[in-house]
Amino acid sequence: MRKRILNIFKAAKNKKVLVLILLFILIVSFLVIWIFFIEPNLLIVKNLTIKDPELKGIRVAYLTDLHICQNEKAYFLKLIKTVNEQNADIILLGGDYVVVDMFMNKTMEAKEIAKLLTGLKAKYGVYMVMGNHELHGKSIKILSENLKDSNIKILQNSNVRIKIRDKSLTIVGIGDFTDRRHNIKKAFNNAEKPIIAFTHSPLIFKLIPNSVNMTFAGHTHGGQVYIPGLGPLAKPRGYKGIYNKGFYEKKGKTMFVSSGIGCSHLKARFFNLPEIVIADFK
Ligand SMILES: [Fe+2]
């Protein structure tokens, strides 16, 4: 009788272990599918409201870290359509259009990327800076040549004064800080307030003049894979413990760091949905 009871307990215990193993396999499989195949394609529009009377009424779209692979034309055509539908006054492009080190995939050619990006439309202009991935090969040269006479204006350490309805503002594009392509003096030459600055790497924030109303940056991808409790798993060199994503404030200056759209190294995202940033100044 005792032996029989023990056998029933053993069988029940084995069944419990089996159920736990199956549950574990199921959860891991779901996470793998989610991280590698679902979340990297779940594009969202991230709406921000920024209080600033000097820029009140202006709508800005900021796109960064597109990292366009050769088989992603359809996805990015859809993305461009979504951006255009937001009716932003200006579109700012924060760099990393190509991707140089993607596992099991290759970058779309810079010439093709240039052609694709010209589909972006905004009433008061589309402006661009380069990222660190553009440094590899001839991407900067090819993008610059192919966008020369297009609707996209490259602001690599330069600025432009525009008028949006009744408001004048300066848009400042700053070269990437990671690879020392920035030149603050040149970028802000004669820049009058109000100023919207945009760049690739957020580490530049300490050098941004206090007169700047708002700065947009990217580069971090939000760590690409963010594990709650553990934090971001894949942050770029030099970013340990600082600048991941979201708003940052320093001495009255404000910067928003976007987790971007694409991936580098591995097509994987977790708690980092690809985002088109739409900022409304109120
Ligand atoms: Fe990037």
pLDDT tens-digit series, residues 17-67: 999 999 999 999 999 999 999 999 999 999 999 999 999 999 999 999 999
Residue 160 CA to residue 90 CA, distance in Å, equals 12
Distance (angstroms) between ligand 1 centre and the Cα of 261 equals: 9
Distance (angstroms) between ligand 1 centre and the Cα of 269 equals: 13
Nearby residues of 153 by Cβ (< 8 Å), 6 or more positions away: 125, 126, 127, 128, 160
Average pLDDT over residues 95-120: 96
Measured at the CA of 242, the angle between CA 239 and CA 248, to 5 degrees, comes to 130
Interval 47-59: pLDDT, tens: 999 999 999 999 9
How close are the terminal C-alpha atoms of the chain, in Å?
78
Distance (angstroms) between ligand 1 centre and the Cα of 260 equals: 8
Average pLDDT over residues 202-218: 97
pLDDT > 70: percent of the chain: 98
Distance (angstroms) between ligand 1 centre and the Cα of 183 equals: 20
Interval 226-248: pLDDT, tens: 998 889 988 888 888 899 999 99
Distance (angstroms) between ligand 1 centre and the Cα of 65 equals: 4
Distance (angstroms) between ligand 1 centre and the Cα of 143 equals: 17
Interval 126-154: pLDDT, tens: 999 999 999 988 999 999 999 999 999 99
Contact 220, 235 (CB under 8 A): yes
242: nearest Cα among 201, 273, 184, 200: 201
Distance (angstroms) between ligand 1 centre and the Cα of 263 equals: 7
Does residue 8 surpass a pLDDT of 70?
Answer: no
Residue 92 CA to residue 195 CA, distance in Å, equals 13
Distance (angstroms) between ligand 1 centre and the Cα of 18 equals: 42
Does residue 7 surpass a pLDDT of 80?
Answer: no
Distance (angstroms) between ligand 1 centre and the Cα of 211 equals: 27
Distance (angstroms) between ligand 1 centre and the Cα of 221 equals: 6
pLDDT at residue 227 in the model? 92
Distance (angstroms) between ligand 1 centre and the Cα of 264 equals: 6
Chain-centroid distance of CA 243 in Å reads: 13
- Which residues surround the ion ligand 1 when the cut-off is CB under 5 Å? 65, 96
Distance (angstroms) between ligand 1 centre and the Cα of 187 equals: 22
